[in-house]
Structure 1
Amino acid sequence: MTRVTVAEEITGNVARSVNPLGIQRMVQQQIQAVTEAGRFTGPQRALILGGSSSYGLASRITAAFGAGAATLSVGYSRPPQDDYLGTASWWNQVYFKQAAETAGLQADNINANAFLPSTKRAVIEAIQRNFGGSIDLLVYSIAAPKRQNPVDPDNVWRSVIKPIGQPVSDFSVNLEHQRLESISLEPATPAEISATTHVMGGEDWELWVHSLQAAGVLAPNFKTILYSYEGPRATAAIYHDGTLGRAKRAAEVSARRLQKQLAPSGGEALISVNRSVTTKASAVIPGFSRYCLALYQVEQALGLREQTGAHIDRLFRDMLYGTRREYDQDGRLRPDAKELAPEVQAEVERLLPQLTPENFSPELLGYQEFRREFRQLNGFAVPGVGDTVDLDQLADLRF
């Protein structure tokens, strides 16, 4: 038996270590919450692109343990090697697979770059081999820093998080040193805007649906959904009006094209504008973390806090497969309506000016919630979980 003690390490807002046992407990808790909510009529064979963490993982758990679906996940994670324990997203998929198979559910993982044509071919082969030849749901939940041009592999697009048109200054949380820091960003160049749209827009989503349809692996009444974000006025300069927002507008154009393509067979292409949550990606978006501190503080006071798993469970049950869809004027699903409710945002806007480097305190409840959730993404700060792991036991787990 080889036992090691894992130590938490955070550099800036980037986690450098993982506790697999904490990851296992967090996956189990999400599964338990969905199971306790009961079964609903939903997907039976689901493909989750980006199913290794955050909204993608929550979607997989909801589809499997809420609707009894067989699930295929594509994630891009670093596996354990030598003294390196791997990434949290790797262990999320390992422990999901273990739990799903114990429950008698088909669960396949593909560890590959979702943007590559070779990955699309591997997924189609897996659907034909293990999923009865077709899927009835595709969730597109990918946040990536770069994408290879499928036509010109030597050309790599790199996304940036920048404003458009004018510089922006804001404050962001530094989790390593537990403080607020000033940050200033210059506006994106036209080339950076274009590259970000190629990476974070709907172009690859369309390629996936085209490839799957051409291979004949889409079931009648097939649904596909892409996760997006709108946000409040407080984050508009860096998000909605910036490069990320521009990419999301492109995804909406993709959704309309896909809807025309799928409608004749009873299919749907939808965009869901989801709420603000703590993720590895959101922790490094300038200004976004400070907004989360204010939002979480207000939501806790009002009893409205909704975390990632509960948010997606509600989206699936009420909207995607339910009868209580909430659309906006652009035809997008809006499960984020609770966050953007006027009474919530009024309190957030009242609190935000008080969150400055001079006034910040690690004792702030909103900050404690944000930091705890960030730590739990990597298996730390999980109640009842120690810091000693058995490497031999971990080695026996299957991806």
Structure 2
Amino acid sequence: MAMRISTMDQHDQPRARFPAPGALAIEAKWQQIWAQDPTPPRSSTDNDDFVMVFPPPNVTGRLHCGHALTTAIQDAIARYHHMHGKSVRWIPGTDHAGIATQTVVEKQLAKTEGKTRHELGRDAFLSRVWSWKDAHGDHIHHQLRALGASFSWSDAYFTLDTPRSRIVTDAFLELSRRGLIYRATRLVHWCPALETAISDMEVEYLTIDGPTAVPTPSGHSAQVGEMHYFRYPVADGANGGEFVTVATTRVETMLGDAAVAVHPTDARYAHLVGRDLVHPLSGRRIPVVADDHVDPEFGTGAVKITPAHDANDYEIAKRHAIAETTWIDLFDGKGRLTPACGVPDLVGIDRFAARSRVVELLTTAGVYDRVEPHAMRLAVCSRKCWLSSMRAN
């Protein structure tokens, strides 16, 4: 006999209710009991202690299901050790999140009041950030308590509170005392929108297949995905007119070039290694160096070296002991050209606006060759979704 599964109209289906009737009242009752922190006194021997730090969530919003999952797993571990007679301290906390929190508060300020942090003022903006932290940090604690997690709430911390800040300061002072840290100029990723250095983890990359107009915060657009070719005249050439052609996707950075590198086995340039080229816009002399990093098959086989704005160029400059006085940091914190660029008419211009201006100047000087489509990866600040740049800092 065949079996038949009967079906009901969806309107006849019993409806599940969430939360179940009375659940919230029951949870509230037990939360009050758990809030008394019934953790037994700590054992007198370290072998009987179990201490675990809860990875602090950022105070940039609210917890989601992923936090609930990992909290449940850690709670099971804490309860396991408690059941085995150990004194358990599971320490909860929240993280200031630095730039991420600043960005969230800035967006809220722009949306609700139409102001920037600069218009609000430093002290008032910091006050807003702390208010955000208090509101969202408290809500995160409320969510964790609602999960019934067996935290040691009396040990709760914030990564920017006084004890933690003092520990960080003491650690740096001790490292300095031991000679394990030092201050030096290094290349960093810089976000002109935030006007601060950002970590490698805060840089994302967009794939650009060819010429593309990318919008900028100023409302204009920047042309990317292009390879520009221009020529460096050879200084004191026996036959006038000898030059080296280089290619770059960021032609405006040629204002900070400190050398041109070629591969040691590239016969095309062997006679030029050790000689100088003349910068076509500033008149400075820059050397030709031979370095294994150069790919002779890419572009023209000659690479412009801008130590203050490219990580590979930075390393090449160090290897060849190119004087740091020639490492020109072209841009200010907002990404505008400074007097160090050597061209007065370009001072104060945004780096992308300067791109077309530099092409015009090179064309006028008779050394601009051509532009070609070029696939590339474009660095983007993950916090502001804007282009980051390398700069010495």
TM-score (norm 1): 0.23
Question: Could you say which structure has the larger radius of gyration?
Answer: 2
**Which of the pair has the greater relative contact order for Cα pairs under 8 Å at 6+ separation?**
1
Structure 1 or 2: more helix by fraction: 1
More strand by share: 2
Give the alignment's TM-score, normalised by structure 2.
Answer: 0.23
